[in-house]
Structure 1
Amino acid sequence: MSPLTRRILLINLGAPIALVLAFFYLDQFRLSLIDTRLTALRYEAGLIAGALGESAISPSEFSPTLEPELARQLLRRLSAQSSARSRLFDADGEMIADSRLLLAAGRGVVTRQLPPPNIDTPWEQALIRLYDEINALFMTTLNLPKYVELPFTHANDYPEARGALIGEENEQLRDLPDGRIMLSVAVPVQGLRKVLGALLLNVDSAELDARVREERLGVLKVFAAVLGFTVLASLYLAGVIVRPIHRLAEAAERIRAAKGRIAHLSLPDYSHREDEIGDLSSVLRAMTSALSQRLDAIERFAADVSHEIKNPLTSLRSAMETFLRTEKPELRARLLAVMQDDVRRMDRLITDISGASRLDAELARSEARPLDIAAMLQSVVETYTARLSETGPKIELRCIEPGPYLAIGFEGQLGQVVRNLIDNAISFSPPNGSIVVTVKREPRHVMFSVADEGPGIPADNLESIFERFYSERPASEAFGLHSGLGLSIARQVVQSLGGDIHAENRDDGRTGARFMVRLPL
């Protein structure tokens, strides 16, 4: 069982535990029933004692006494409908009547109530046995005196009866051997303002215990039902929540431990679920797909770097080998020039590759914030205007509307994007040409563009120019001055901001290319 499943079970067991606490509360309910039964028994004893004091005494006006025979008959009739045992003692403490003794042929016959027939099912009997064991463990112990049934009963055997003979009403609780409680109430029997005897009523707690047992069995039945439902509900939750999470964790561990490509590995798809598990599955699958694409891009980047560096290395090695074999000064001079160009080309490649490899980390560390795009463009354009020669292209900034033009971005990286686009435009612009940088607002974006007057871009290459190491350069440009990473870096920065960059050929009656960048507001 997983830790999360155990936690679900523990949380869901709160309701059954509350029912168990209710089970213990019923012990207090039992004590309250005992108090109520004692009150009723005291009231019943008072009624019977009053009747005996009025109807079962001798007619003597000065020294009335109880008439034993009359008292026995009257006590038997008054106790017929009662479950309590009634015993009557005279003023000397001698028992003269007992409701459980019947006179038959001159002999006393003891009556006892038989237990009801057992009609419980085996399941109910097992539940009752469980109840008895639990009840024996947790039932409140009252530490009562033991009840002893004597063959010859005298009032002195019962403290409450002794108290009744001196005019006091008393009650007493005693333990029976089977765990029940014997409830006793003793009241004086008075006639003509004189104590003529004592009436003792006894009843065991069988009825009360049966009622408490019924309540507790009801609690146990509800507890069993709630416990079963809780376990099933917990297992269902474990299946719905824990098992998918476990499968996602196992798949993620396989991906973590995989060596090499992970494209063939996949996570379970729970995206059809409209809950947090579905969201987690979708995010993890998207993350795995992005990781796979990033690893593929790293592999392609490594292969491209290897290929691009091999070209100048091959040229450099060939030039060095030829330089060592020839003695002609003119050829050696040309070979030295070739080697210098190759070294510069490798230096440029290594510098640009280092910058491209650091770009992801820089973007992850940088915090995007609102920028005035027009002010940034103005700063870059002024820098280029100051350093371009008189015969070089002219750079112009056009703001379609009054500023500011606020968009979310990284100031340093976006400045690099603009410089890459302007450098690319300068490379393809003719002498005294014009480069126009335009910025305008759109409903949900700020758009700026860089347009040149060069030869334009072949329609088939409008997308491929953003690939790494794209090396289609003007014929007049010296070989190796550009690494082919500028436009790729520009797209990576813009897309990390949720924007878009694309190229098109000018359609305003002039030749040339236009690069358009859109950044979200």
Structure 2
Amino acid sequence: MFNYLLKNLSILKKFLFINLIFFSILGLFTFLYLKIVQPNLIKNKSSNHIKIINNTIDNLERLEIQFNEEDIRKFLFSTRFIFQSLDRVIFFDNQLDLVGDTDTLDLDPRSFSSRLDIVELEVLNEEKSKEITEKKNINIGNDNLVSLQDILFNYAGSKNFGIPFTFTQEEFNNFKLTTIKNVFRNDVNIGYVAITENANDIRAAIDERKTFVIRTAFAVGIVILIFSFVLNRYFLKPIQNLVAYTNKIKNKEHKKINIDNLKVRNDELGLLSKSLDDMTLELQKRISHAENFSTDLVHEIRNPLASLKSASEILSETKETDERLKLINILSHDVQRIERLITDYSQILKDEVALSKEKFRKIDLIPIIKSVVDDYNNIYQSKRGITISFSNDGNKNYQINGIENRIEQIIANLLDNAISFSEDNKTIDIKISQNSKKQIIINIFDEGPGFKEKDTSKIFKRFYSNRPDKFGQHSGLGLNIVKNLTDLHNASINALNRTDKRGANLEIIFSRA
């Protein structure tokens, strides 16, 4: 269910939802932590109370102090320094009557009083003894005393009787902590000791932790909101624009989204936008190329098909043997032409698929060219007496980044083209050199008729062929394939006429690796 819910949310909503879950869990643990902290703080204080109570009981036992006002008064007076760190220590007898209270102990000390509204105190002076009667109003909090007596009464009848018992009292401005314990003497309960301390520091510690948690949560919330804004503004919206851009392309909508503002970014999204736009342009270019190629192929096939149709119609009506042989030759020629066009077209498609899988690497042109030259010499020297020579300018570094078998294909296609225009017993020269820009130049010179075209760039167009005497024997795709492969290698190819003699010069310029 959780995965299904997240799956249907946007990235921003997922981020906010996950942070909400995180905050909820953190809030729960914080609540539990605060619930645990207060009892621990109370426990630490009550432990101190218990130590003092046990110490006080030991002193009462040792001094054999009776639980009456006189003895407790003298005990408190003689041991007042023990209780100076405490807010209040109260003594009750076994009838739950108040017999002593440190609230009535003056620290100068001049007098000690009990809970009575009129207090009598006898003080022994070092110089002389005299009786001093002093009236003093004492505010001990009657409501708290009644509450304490009720608790003592319940404590006396509970199963916890005999062990220390701690409870708290919360008022508007005060948080009091009280620990009580009964006093046994000869296995008989003779009274109770209670320590009451103002524990506002516990409340302050809890409030401080709460404030810290709230401030931290508020700060983290602000950070998350700022991060959400940045995430949405600088990441999610650009991604949405890219998604919309791809959908427009997929649906072939004329109105396209402009992502130029994304391409100028120098981060990963900028690189992604550039890559996506380049990929889209490349795909559109390939689609346009395929459509144009198919159109041209259909156009080229239509002519021999029309010729086939006409020849076949005339053949059925012609009875003369010579005419029928001419028509049959036309039919055979047109069929071969169609077959050649389809074969070359199929080869181009296969090459394009192979090119998408092949990788560029650093290659040396010398052994590649020598291998192709040797193969062609073995074929055409004995067949037509055509010799292919290879030379270089003496430089030893002819390395480029390319695909080896595609370089072989370029050289082979250019040699095929040169041989098709050459007469028997002629020479074709291949020269490799380096220019002033340290570019690698390959020249293929033949001794054919040269180029009659003023614009020699048209010879690299698909299905272009200027062979009146050999019409139909070539598909016109060989040089177009060479042009595509040189473009693939970021190289250029030029068609020139030789300046030293009759013939053509095809020049390829590669960048050095």
TM-score by length of 2: 0.74
Question: What's 2:405 paired with?
Answer: 412
> Offset at 1:295?
1.0
Aligned partner of residue 388 in structure 1, secondary structure: helix
Structure 1 residues without counterparts, runs of 5 or longer:
58-62, 115-146, 164-169
Question: What's 1:184 paired with?
Answer: 179
Q: Pick one of 329, 332, 347 that aligns with 1:340.
A: 332
Equivalent-residue separation in structure 2 for 1:79 and 1:404 (angstroms): 100
Q: Pick one of 264, 268, 283 that aligns with 2:259.
A: 268
> Offset at 1:234?
2.0
Question: What's 1:376 paired with?
Answer: 368
The alignment status of 1:358 with 2:353, answered yes or no, reads no
Question: What's 2:232 paired with?
Answer: 238
Equivalent-residue separation in structure 1 for 2:43 and 2:201 (angstroms): 14
Larger deviation, residues 309-318 vs 496-505: 496-505
Residues 135-176 of structure 1, C-alpha deviations (whole Å, 9 max, x = no match): xxxxxxxxxxxx97435957973899986xxxxxx6432466
Equivalent-residue separation in structure 2 for 1:382 and 1:47 (angstroms): 114
Q: Pick one of 448, 460, 463 that aligns with 1:466.
A: 460
> Offset at 1:240?
1.9
Equivalent-residue separation in structure 1 for 2:251 and 2:278 (angstroms): 19
The alignment status of 1:95 with 2:98, answered yes or no, reads yes
Q: Pick one of 307, 315, 319 that aligns with 1:315.
A: 307
The alignment status of 1:157 with 2:129, answered yes or no, reads no
Q: Which one-letter code corresponds to 2:305 in the other structure?
A: L
Equivalent-residue separation in structure 1 for 2:496 and 2:29 (angstroms): 78
TM-score by length of 1: 0.73
Question: What's 2:417 paired with?
Answer: 424
Q: Structure 1 2/282 Cα, relative in aligned 2: closer, same or farther at 3 Å? A: farther
Q: Structure 1 108/383 Cα, relative in aligned 2: closer, same or farther at 3 Å? A: closer
Contact preservation (8 Å) 2:434, 2:441 = yes
> Offset at 1:458?
5.4
Equivalent-residue separation in structure 2 for 1:265 and 1:294 (angstroms): 19
Q: Pick one of 30, 44, 49 that aligns with 2:38.
A: 30
Contact preservation (8 Å) 1:88, 1:96 = yes
Contact preservation (8 Å) 1:52, 1:75 = no
Counterparts in 2 of 1:181-260, with a 5 A limit?
Answer: 182-184=177-179, 186=181, 199-203=193-197, 207-258=201-252
Equivalent-residue separation in structure 2 for 1:375 and 1:315 (angstroms): 46
Contact preservation (8 Å) 2:445, 2:506 = yes
Question: What's 2:127 paired with?
Answer: none
Question: What's 2:128 paired with?
Answer: none
Residues 420-459 of structure 1, C-alpha deviations (whole Å, 9 max, x = no match): 1011112333554331112245787654331223343357
Contact preservation (8 Å) 2:398, 2:512 = no
Q: Which one-letter code corresponds to 1:420 in the other structure?
A: N
Q: Which one-letter code corresponds to 1:243 in the other structure?
A: K
Contact preservation (8 Å) 1:5, 1:235 = no
Q: Structure 1 463/81 Cα, relative in aligned 2: closer, same or farther at 3 Å? A: farther
Question: What's 2:126 paired with?
Answer: none
Aligned partner of residue 448 in structure 2, secondary structure: coil
- RCO higher in 1 or 2 (8 Å CA, sep ≥ 6)? 1
Contact preservation (8 Å) 1:456, 1:505 = yes
Question: What's 1:68 paired with?
Answer: 69
Q: Pick one of 166, 169, 173 that aligns with 2:166.
A: 173
Question: What's 2:508 paired with?
Answer: 516
Larger deviation, residues 371-380 vs 451-460: 451-460
Q: Structure 1 157/492 Cα, relative in aligned 2: closer, same or farther at 3 Å? A: same
Aligned partner of residue 444 in structure 2, secondary structure: strand
Larger deviation, residues 416-425 vs 509-518: 509-518
Aligned partner of residue 398 in structure 1, secondary structure: strand
Question: What's 1:134 paired with?
Answer: none
Aligned partner of residue 463 in structure 1, secondary structure: helix
Q: Structure 1 92/148 Cα, relative in aligned 2: closer, same or farther at 3 Å? A: closer
Structure 2 residues without counterparts, runs of 5 or longer:
1-7, 104-113, 120-136
Larger deviation, residues 208-217 vs 301-310: 208-217
> Offset at 1:408?
4.1
Aligned partner of residue 150 in structure 1, secondary structure: helix
Question: What's 2:11 paired with?
Answer: 4
Residues 336-355 of structure 1, C-alpha deviations (whole Å, 9 max, x = no match): 32222222221221211111
Q: Structure 1 71/460 Cα, relative in aligned 2: closer, same or farther at 3 Å? A: farther
Equivalent-residue separation in structure 1 for 2:165 and 2:155 (angstroms): 14
Contact preservation (8 Å) 1:368, 1:409 = yes
Q: Structure 1 517/12 Cα, relative in aligned 2: closer, same or farther at 3 Å? A: farther
Contact preservation (8 Å) 2:395, 2:433 = no
> Offset at 1:503?
2.9
Equivalent-residue separation in structure 2 for 1:362 and 1:83 (angstroms): 92
Q: Which one-letter code corresponds to 1:220 in the other structure?
A: I
Across the two proteins, how many residue pairs are aligned to each other?
466
Larger deviation, residues 275-284 vs 339-348: 339-348
Question: What's 2:323 paired with?
Answer: 331
> Offset at 1:278?
1.0
Q: Which one-letter code corresponds to 2:288 in the other structure?
A: D
Q: Which one-letter code corresponds to 2:235 in the other structure?
A: I
Q: Which one-letter code corresponds to 1:95 in the other structure?
A: L
The alignment status of 1:506 with 2:506, answered yes or no, reads no
Contact preservation (8 Å) 1:89, 1:155 = no
> Offset at 1:214?
3.0
Between the aligned residues of both structures, percent identity stands at: 27
The alignment status of 1:482 with 2:474, answered yes or no, reads yes
Equivalent-residue separation in structure 2 for 1:336 and 1:155 (angstroms): 128
Contact preservation (8 Å) 2:181, 2:194 = yes
Equivalent-residue separation in structure 1 for 2:488 and 2:93 (angstroms): 108
Question: What's 2:269 paired with?
Answer: 277
Contact preservation (8 Å) 1:89, 1:95 = yes
Equivalent-residue separation in structure 1 for 2:352 and 2:160 (angstroms): 99
Aligned partner of residue 365 in structure 1, secondary structure: coil
Larger deviation, residues 92-101 vs 282-291: 92-101
Q: Structure 1 74/303 Cα, relative in aligned 2: closer, same or farther at 3 Å? A: same
Question: What's 1:125 paired with?
Answer: none
